[in-house]
Structure 1
Amino acid sequence: MRIQGISGSRGVAVGNVYRYIQEEIAIPDYTVAEDKVEEEISKFATAMASTLKQLDTIRKKALDEMGPEEASIFEAHMQIAQDPSLSDGIKSLVESSHMNVVAATSQTIESFANIFLGMEDAYMRERGADIKDIGDRLMRNILGMNPRGLSHISGEVILVAHDLAPSDTASLDKNVVKGIVTAAGGPTSHAAIMARTLEIPAVMGVGDIESFADGDKAVVLGTDGIVEINPSDADWTEYTNQALAFQEELKRLRESANLESTTTDGHHVELFGNIGKAKDAKHALTMGAQGIGLYRTEFLYMENDELPTEDVQFEEYKKVAQEMKGQPVIIRTMDIGGDKELKCLDLPSEMNPFL
């Protein structure tokens, strides 16, 4: 059977279906007695602390394995989670309506997400899914449920899900998950963006995953946005060869990364890399960078409880300069605010920090 979706990440992948179905959150229907309101609100505070800790762990993993752009997604999630209008909205429902904190969180998150989901711009609509991801994690922590995660998958699989939150995708092992299929989402979703970073072929927006069963043979034609379920033996062999050819192409591209970047009419193009840590410079060189176009120094600040001294900064910048062996390095001064905040600076909270 052939299913048409939307291209999320190019390439061809084959494997057995693994359906990722999360345990549903059951919203309690009790109301809170007047003398229990503070106790109920304290559940929210405890869950929020756990949520922020989990997001920070995911952020660090994304930074190490995918890079600063992907890590900034979770920095933004932490910023949204701590937005006073979100916490005040939840607390207000508990105090004024005596709603239990899970129901209050669900209602507040839904109203926040719907603002984005109703927008015309596709990218902004996808941010509604981000807010729902934060709310989902928060409610699971309030209820003491296990957090979402995909680190337990083994073998070589095609991951099939209704949707994948950024935190789901950040936990993927590309040696296990060979392809991704989602019922929802599109090319601007964080799941698609991360799939491209991880070089995992992906098809988004297939509309329905009921046709997929665990163990089915599946082919992800990421470039065309097509999924084949249980193809014939002859087609399976052909698709397997295409998947191997795609991996060989990626290998060839890596091996040719350091060839001179010159167009067919003789025009030389300088290729620079963007980095967030000193150790990223080596990877940039491996991928053919002829310099560093942007060294995001804020990550040096964000990962410490105290402001880095001049000596600490000097040593980090020195490492990059030495690693690049005389190639140009452009160092950006600290970019803080908006979706980035520091533990070591007591900056006031703003309703819209991007302004």
Structure 2
Amino acid sequence: MTAGTLPLEILNRIVQQLRPVDLPPLCRVNKMFQRVTERKLYNNLILGDVNLAYRVYMSLIAHDGMRGPYVKRLWFYIDPRRGVTRGHLAHQFWQMMQVALSTMTELKDLLIHDPAGTATWILDPDEMRFQLHTAKFRLQWDDDMVAFLQSQHQLKHLQTLDAHDITRVVPLPEGHLRELEAFEGPLLVAAEMLSCPSLSHLRVIVDEEVFQLLPQFVENIVTSDPPLRSLHVNVIPDPVVEETLEALTVDPKCCARIQHLGVIMMPWIHRHVIHRHLTRLHNLQSIAFEVSHLDPAPIEGFQRAIALEMNMYCPSLRRVSFWFGHHQVVLWAYRQDTWTCAGVHPHASIEDQLWLSV
């Protein structure tokens, strides 16, 4: 039996066992293998090189875009530390990507990293025929972004950048993103998500320009009444900790839903402010503290003592994490009636695990 007469099921099994590096040569064996192999080859595209990405987009566009429906995930990410990509990428590159995106009718997971953050125009809703479940954009929040999001009716997880001008944040009209469950982004854009009726997880970036707005933002969470289970702020600064916690715990329904809270700037003393509000969070499972500002840094014994202390006021707690800036996170977990250190983790590897896991 020749390769060309093998049943489709057998061809699929052969292809599924191969490494990605073996797929391009197999495409050249015959047309039968080409069709089966290309489905896997283009199913999950993770592109980190501009020249390679350009060639892939050209291949997707060829033959009237016949390969476009094969793509379920497209990640285009350029390491910002590469000097060649710190500025604007060529307009022609983004045009080619836009045309390639227009062929991807089955795309569900999209990540676009633009070093300049300005290529939102490629997301023209009149050109795109896909409905995303996950969208992560290093792109500014502007009119083009909002127009695109209004066309996405199945989106569950969204990440985006701040507006170019924070004095004018383009509003997201009510009635859109009804399936959105998780949002990651700056505070002023996160405020636009509070009208999403399914929003349960928020990861919010707060910088020095807007940190004083955090208590009002949390108050809006409570009054908007999204079914929020996780609120993860890059840092809740000490000057607004008490006001922020008071706004969060004023409503019993909100208190009953919250299962993860962080990252709170830990005080050496006066922790009674945190204790008082923990007693209201009856279902809180995870809490995170920023401790990089403490001198000396809290050693393992002190970390365990803090975990025990917080658990006294909030018996539902099962994880307490200590954040040493952007360098590392020390995680403590309650197992078999004792608090044990669950390891030291890089910041980037543990953050999603904490705020998305509840």
TM-score (norm 1): 0.29
Structure with higher strand content:
2
Structure with higher helix content:
1
TM-score (norm 2): 0.28
> Greater RCO between the two (CA within 8 Å, min separation 6)?
1
